[in-house]
Amino acid sequence: MRTITLIPGDGIGPEVTAAARAVVDASGAAVAWEEAPAGLKVGEALGNPLPESVFQSLERNRVALKGPTQTPFGEPYRVWRDVLGPGGTPETRTYPGVTIALRREFELFANVRPVKNYPNAGGRYQGVDIVLFRENTEDLYVGLERMVDPDTAEAVKRITRAGCERIARFAADYMQRTNRKRVTIGHKSNVLKLTDGMFLKVCQETLAASPALEIDSRVIDALCMELVVKPETFDCLLLPNLYGDIVSDLAAGLVGGLGIAPGANIGAGHAMFEAVHGSAPDIAGRDIANPMSMILSAVMMLRYLGESAGAERIEQALAAVLAEGKAVTRDLGGDAGTRAMTAAIVEELKRR
Ligand code: NAD
Ligand code: IPM
Ligand code: MN
């Protein structure tokens, strides 16, 4: 029995993580849950939105299923961790948000976001089957922003050779394991010659150690255009942090939207699975959020844990519910609620 840290999160987070938990439990996978609350409400109650208990839980269990957590837009918001630095000196590390703090503290450097068509899921394209690899710890996400003077703000974009090597190596290994052939590196090295220049060059060099892979590259703006014109021609994408964030949502939109886009944050010893979407405050608490993204994230988690039988059963049950097209949420063209769609998937699982 494997214990998983469950972070319900904010907004629709508690609704969609409850759905994923119910579906995983019904799949017969040998999983137990340890709830570790984090996010806006936790911050209001305790001061810090990411209490030490969450780090301890993930340290113990090594694997988490995380609901979206909300970060206020454009307002000061502090997430911090007090640690003992070199020589036992106390230090405080601060982060722009809960998700970024967890990714950085556990070195979850690889963000894996598969995007493909599901039956009756909408979207304007067919034949899309892309795996997006996003570097998850560097780039403009290092959180070093400052006011130069009252009218001038600036931010640091940091790219390291080691950071590029590890995400490129991860992508190559993943592609070999899953029989993927072509990877397209996205960059803006015509302008950002040092930072994106390094990302492009080091990724190319690292990937070249895997001769079976076809290595391709695109300037990020041109890549976005091609993705919306002929997405079915892409296999894998390898992107720095910020472009990876933006292209994740774009790619979700190609196949029907954020309601069906799962993801994984993987490091050397820990992993955290979460949907691509956020806390969706516009639909929170109304039992209308699509639970699929979070359920598919849990499927990725089960595969990571070696529970592939449970993962397959969930995928089949979900496919049956989608094919029938009745017990699905409104973004999928139905009128079922989150709970009714979840119950339909659980019923399918019981029948298998
Ligand atoms: P969002 O992804 O929450 O929502 C964008 C749009 O997609 C909204 O119209 C929403 O209703 C819809 N949507 C999202 N998930 C859906 C689902 N499961 N079913 C149906 N519709 C869905 O993005 P946002 O509004 O820009 O961000 C809201 C908050 O979420 C922000 O505070 C942001 O920082 C946070 N966020 C957190 C994470 C995370 O914790 N991993 C990820 C993204 C955004
Ligand atoms: C995502 C989200 C996060 C990101 C936010 C919440 C920090 O948009 O997981 O895609 O930008 O990485
Ligand atoms: Mn995002």
141 counts as catalytic:
yes
Other C-beta atoms lying within 10 Å of the C-beta of residue 152: 8
CA 241 to ligand 3 center in whole angstroms: 10
Least Cα distance to 295 among 327, 264, 262 occurs for 262
Residues at Cβ < 5 Å from ligand 3 ion:
245
Least Cα distance to 109 among 169, 46, 57, 62 occurs for 169
* pLDDT tens for each residue of the chain, 352 residues long: 999 999 999 999 999 999 999 999 999 999 999 999 999 999 999 889 999 999 999 999 999 999 999 998 888 788 999 999 889 999 999 999 999 999 999 999 999 999 999 999 989 999 999 999 999 999 999 999 999 999 999 999 999 999 999 999 999 999 999 999 999 999 999 999 999 999 999 999 999 999 999 999 999 999 999 999 999 999 999 999 999 999 999 999 999 999 999 999 999 999 999 999 999 999 999 999 999 999 999 999 999 999 999 999 999 999 999 999 999 999 999 999 999 999 999 999 998 8
* Ramachandran bin of 249, using left for φ above 0, alpha for ψ from -120 to 50, beta for the remaining angles: alpha
pLDDT at 295: 98
Distance (Å) of CA 35 to CA 66, 207, 242: 10, 39, 30
| Strand 129-135 to 110-116 pairing | antiparallel
Least Cα distance to 298 among 1, 31, 54, 10 occurs for 31
Do the beta carbons of residue 298 and residue 314 sit within 8 Å?
yes
3-state DSSP call for residue 152? strand
Nearest-atom number in ligand 2 for the CA of 68 is: 6
Does ligand 2 have an atom closer than 6 angstroms to the CB of 97?
A: yes
188 counts as catalytic:
yes
pLDDT at 328: 98
DSSP 8-state assignment for residue 184: E
CA 163 to ligand 1 center in whole angstroms: 27
Does ligand 1 have an atom closer than 6 angstroms to the CB of 277?
A: yes
CA 245 to ligand 2 center in whole angstroms: 6
pLDDT at 75: 82
CA 266 to ligand 2 center in whole angstroms: 15
Handedness of CA 317, 323, 326, 328 (dihedral sign): positive
Other C-beta atoms lying within 10 Å of the C-beta of residue 143: 16
Beta-strand runs (E) in the chain: 2-7, 31-35, 63-66, 79-84, 90-95, 110-116, 129-135, 145-149, 152-155, 182-187, 214-219, 236-239, 264-266, 271-273
pLDDT at 185: 99
- For residue 197, give every residue at least 6 positions away whose Cβ sits within 8 Å of its Cβ, in sequence order, or none: 187, 189
3-state DSSP call for residue 5? strand
Does ligand 1 have an atom closer than 6 angstroms to the CB of 342?
A: no
Residue with CA closest to ligand 2 atom 10: 245
User: Which ligand is the nearest neighbour of the Cα of 69?
Assistant: 1
